[in-house]
Amino acid sequence: MLKIQTRDGKTLALDLGDEAEAKRLLSSGRELTALIDVSQHAGGPFQHTVVRPQGFRSVRWNAERVEVEGKGERIIVIADDVRLTLMVHERHAASRISLARLRQVYSPE
């Protein structure tokens, strides 16, 4: 389950099954301060929080359900030319974080 924290202090539940609602909430860019993934594992609830990066001109958020090697949720934050990805696996009490600098490739077509 994903939750969204907004600048005005609200915490909203995000249902990735409702694509239109998820897209609307994630596109409210400047109002988002954090995305929280709450997973249930054998040891109890486990929470990952990705906060809004500071010092960037442009910040875009995305979240999606992933059905590869079990189920999970992926949170993607693109801040200027930096991409942060958090993949949380439901079956295992494990997560994967990747950080990459994006290259812009010019394509005239």
pLDDT band at 56 (very low <50, low <70, confident <90, very high): very high
Mean pLDDT of 38-61: 86
Asked, for residue 33, whether it belongs to a domain, the answer is yes
109 within domain boundaries = no
The SS3 call for residue 59 is strand
Q: Is residue 83 part of a domain?
A: yes
Does 107 reside within a domain?
Answer: no
**Residue numbers of the domain that contains 82:** 2-101
> Looking at the domain assignment, is residue 34 inside a domain?
yes
pTM of the predicted model as reported, rounded to 2 decimal places: 0.82
pLDDT higher at 6 or 41: 6
3-class DSSP state for residue 32? strand
Domain assignment present for 15 = yes
Q: Which of helix, strand or coil describes residue 24? A: helix
pLDDT (0 to 100) of residue 106 = 67
- Please indicate, yes or no, if residue 70 is contained in any of the structural domains: yes
Number of domains in the chain: 1
Query: Does 27 map to a domain?
Result: yes
pLDDT digits (tens, 9 = 90+) for 63-98: 998 887 667 889 999 999 999 999 988 777 788 999
